[in-house]
A and B are shown apart, each in its own frame.
Chain A
Amino acid sequence: AQSVTQLGSHVSVSEGALVLLRCNYSSSVPPYLFWYVQYPNQGLQLLLKYTTGATLVKGINGFEAEFKKSETSFHLTKPSAHMSDAAEYFCAVSDLGNTPLVFGKGTRLSVIA
């Protein structure tokens, strides 16, 4: 069965600094990988996804993630943090798209002025 580990339940960065949120997955078949963002008391919004093809995936709001099969990782990055990026971020995995998404426990991002 697939699983996701997000390293760090809380990450704090200064405004303008690099954002790096870590995600490692376990899957017996090629995975489909996703990052979602959740603002307080709201549902989740899709940031970006990897299914096949190019391993560097660009999403909304300047975020991107790179699929590294050898490291079983799908880390989320953004070159320069903005105050509006403060939210909770979830990594998710599905086996070839044939199974419901399995989510990680989430990483709360704080941005300090």
Chain B
Amino acid sequence: DGGITQSPKYLFRKEGQNVTLSCEQNLNHDAMYWYRQDPGQGLRLIYYSQIVNDFQKGDIAEGYSVSREKKESFPLTVTSAQKNPTAFYLCASSYSHTSNVLTFGAGSRLTVL
């Protein structure tokens, strides 16, 4: 079945360490997104990519970086510059950037110790 796979599901990190969250899709979707979810804050857009080798900053990009070298993959790196990285991270994809029907992964929960 087609879908989005996020890994790891749970991740613990010490302060000052970078960590990379994986997002892979086999839906043949052009567009991919990363959202951050905090209790009571809803989902906030970190980065999105409309096509391979191109990506744009979202509303809260500071302290994060991404790459889009393959259509299927859109990894997110949480750097040590992110002041409050503990959160639930959701990856999503859509057929194109003008199709807002998003398919979501199951999420990755990052805890900074």
- Report A's interface with B, CB cutoff 8 A: 6, 9, 32, 34, 36, 41-46, 49, 90, 92, 94, 97-98, 100-106
- The answer on a CB contact under 8 Å between B40 and A97 is no
Which residues of A have CB within 8 Å of B84?
none
Select from chain B the residue with minimum beta-carbon distance to A51.
Answer: B100
- A residues near B58, Cβ cutoff 8 Å: 100
Known: A97-B98, A98-B98, A100-B33. A44 touches B104 (CB 8 A): yes
The answer, yes or no, to whether B64 is at the interface (CB within 8 Å) is: no
Please give me the residue from chain B that is nearest to A96 by CB atom. B98
B106 touches A42 (CB 8 A): yes
Distance A101 CA – B14 CA, assembled complex (angstroms): 32
Which of A98, A100, A102: most chain B Cβ within 10 A?
A100
* Min CB gap B73→A, angstroms: 17
B48 to nearest A CB, angstroms?
A: 5
B10 CB to nearest chain A CB (Å): 10
Complex Cα spacing A106 to B92, Å: 18
Let me know if A43 and B90 touch, CB within 8 A: yes
Determine the distance from Cα of A32 to Cα of B102 in the docked complex, in whole angstroms. Answer: 13
Q: Are A46 and B102 in contact (CB under 8 A)?
A: yes
**A98: nearest residue on chain B (CB-CB)?**
B98
